[in-house]
Chain A
Amino acid sequence: MAQRIFVIDDAATVRLYHRQILEGAGFEVHEAINGIEALEKVLLASTPFDLYLVDVNMPKQDGYGFLRELRQLDIRQAPAIMISTEAQAIDRVKAWEAGANFYLVKPIKPDALLGYVHLLLGAGGTA
């Protein structure tokens, strides 16, 4: 069964960009446009997700907030990559405290994204 990746980003273009890359590599991609919607989907999901890609900057609930709540849920926890843009340096400590496991800077090139995603899913490397 395909591994399930949850992409949380308010920008539809970015979601599509990630979706195309990840689906192209055979992953099952799910999307949410903010932390609140994402939490709902996590709670309603019949199977837990295998990896989260979380945008930092989102309306309603940002990436930090989402991760904080995610990590308090009683579910099978999976790695989360936080994604920031180059304009704002990410607050690493805040990201780690919230529950991120890694971060990448947008725009992420497809090979780098797939490389890290494969590794974080334990699927071996790509390069």
Chain B
Amino acid sequence: MGIVYEDQRVYCNDIVTVEEAEGLLDWLQRHPKAEVDLTACQHLHAANLQVLMAVNPAIAAWPEDAEFSLWLKSALGEPAD
């Protein structure tokens, strides 16, 4: 299962495919305070990545996959760039 939506939290698991992007954008717009849990995420299709980058939601947990986590942190986490 790619994306699981809960009350105020969305879990991105395994591989999140291109088809999920629209739903994710829609849900994040309707839940502006929601957090994203990426713990079990292996890969996000670029469409989902840009949704997260545009919405910039709070990240509850970064991916366990270290390499992937670094990508996401540099894209989402640090406004230092």
Contacts and interface: CB of A to CB of B under 8 A. Distances in A.
Interface string B32-62: 0000000010110000000000000000000
A93 interface: yes
Contacts of B65: 92
A91 B15 contact: yes
A89 interface: yes
Nearest to B43: A89
A102 B74 CA distance: 26
A93 B15 contact: no
A93 B40 contact: yes
Contacts, number: 11
Interface in A83-122: 89, 91-93
A91 B14 CA distance: 7
B1 to A, nearest CB: 12
A23 B14 CA distance: 36
A92 B14 CA distance: 8
A52 to B, nearest CB: 22
Nearest to A91: B14
A9 to B, nearest CB: 23
Contacts of A91: 14-15, 42
Nearest to B13: A93
A89 B40 contact: no
A91 B42 CA distance: 8
11 contacts: A89-B15, A89-B42, A89-B43, A91-B14, A91-B15, A91-B42, A92-B42, A92-B65, A93-B14, A93-B40, A93-B42
Interface of A: 89, 91-93
